[in-house]
Copies of this chain bind each other. A is one copy, B any other.
């Protein structure tokens, strides 16, 4: 057994002193050949390791550089220095791994840009920013599982490779064991003979686990998914990834209102969990954001700091209104009248653009908004048709700074209505025979939603680019690491 260390987070949380312990981690700095700031990734805070003058030979001393990995044994004592309550008075220092300062890209002197850190995503975990971001990401992921587990939901792993391309949520990546060079087996008519491919049919990467989730909700009542989903869309934006994680709860017996209640409770729960468990990380990120905001022109700065924003979200009801009400607000807004929108709102029926969503959330209501009952033409085939014949029981949750963070609906459980809508939208019913079966055998009102995990992490960490909240982002022309 080599690993008998105390985690630095646990050390600093304790208020004891005068005991022996061992720490291991990476050197952040080494001051005056005496004070090592050591970090082990459990927190952004470092433990100060004090090396008595003359304790180390010169060769060893020189190896204690930024990035080097060391083991330090010694006594925890109250610290006289500023910024820490305790420190480790070393009796033994062991160099576990050297770090060549000439080549190591993470030096304290230069402050690397987020863009540059994306190119060295294998090392960016070692910075304070990404240390905090990915610990918060963990806290949110854990809170998601805890929230649903405590409510008796079943976590369902829906398939990643799918033969279905019927949902139409976006462009799909193809998955194949065939060569791509044109030598794949052909049918007589020249088309590819997928019967000879691995799965005996053409397959893609999933865009959503919802349809499969509905199948399980018709047995367990309450299920959720949490897995990767994919879009082969050429979107080079700060809000899109080709590979991202999605949470999709699906609940039998829920109507649209139940669905909104669940989504709002859920979002507040996971944010509150992160605020409790990762207070220091969030305070660090709030500080980082504040500095970033200072670089912006006054009128582009956020009105609230990160902590204020999170506090506000967990402590206030989300505003709920219909699409139709939102259109009226937008149409009559000074923003629209003064033609400040790129896409002017002229009438009912149009899809909302990001600028409209942000106006509602950031300017008009100044809080998260749940829009409901969208025109059926701009929503998916499986959403439940309202009695007005024009709208569906959809809901989108819009968050400040992010826009759409949740999209959901009550599902169409009436077989005849569902088939009618599928035909209108050219969704092939025979491919979805299994989905339609649930409407034949004990159907019930049910509802669900999808939450893009990275958008949630962006919202909570205040990071502006979605590529900075997933460890190794996938986007057009980028699949490094």
By the criterion CB–CB under 8 Å, are A161 and B243 in contact? yes
> Known: A258-B3, A434-B480, A474-B199. Is A442-B99 also a contact (CB below 8 A)?
yes
By the criterion CB–CB under 8 Å, are B161 and A441 in contact? no
By the criterion CB–CB under 8 Å, are A100 and B253 in contact? no
Task: Check if A160 is an interface residue, CB within 8 A of chain B.
Answer: yes
By the criterion CB–CB under 8 Å, are A261 and B9 in contact? no
For A10, A215, A257, the residue with the greatest tally of chain B CB atoms inside 10 Å of its CB is A215
Residue of B with least CB distance to A234: B198
Number of copies: 2
Residue of B with least CB distance to A139: B149
B residues less than 8 Å from A175 (CB atoms)? 173-175, 205
By the criterion CB–CB under 8 Å, are A100 and B440 in contact? yes
Among candidates B141, B174, B255, residue contacting A176 with C-beta atoms closer than 8 Å: B174
For A1, A99, A154, A215, the residue with the greatest tally of chain B CB atoms inside 10 Å of its CB is A154
A106 to B476, CA, bound (A): 46
Task: Check if A334 is an interface residue, CB within 8 A of chain B.
Answer: no
A415 to B93, CA, bound (A): 22
Of residues 169 to 210 in A, which have CB atoms within 8 Å of B's CB atoms? Answer: 171, 173-178, 180-184, 191-192, 198-201, 203, 205
> Known: A221-B41, A221-B42, A257-B1. Is A442-B7 also a contact (CB below 8 A)?
no
> Known: A228-B228, A471-B157. Is A69-B442 also a contact (CB below 8 A)?
yes
Among candidates B24, B134, B171, B472, residue contacting A252 with C-beta atoms closer than 8 Å: B24
Among candidates B98, B254, B471, residue contacting A216 with C-beta atoms closer than 8 Å: B471
Residue of B with least CB distance to A251: B3
Task: Check if A40 is an interface residue, CB within 8 A of chain B.
Answer: yes
Task: Check if A343 is an interface residue, CB within 8 A of chain B.
Answer: no
Binding site for B on A (CB under 8 A): 1-3, 5, 7, 9-10, 24-27, 40-42, 67-69, 71, 96-100, 103-104, 122-123, 125-126, 130-131, 134-135, 137-138, 141-142, 145, 149, 152-164, 171, 173-178, 180-184, 191-192, 198-201, 203, 205, 212, 215-216, 218-222, 227-228, 230, 232, 234, 242-243, 245, 251-255, 257-258, 261, 413, 434-435, 437-445, 470-472, 474, 476-481
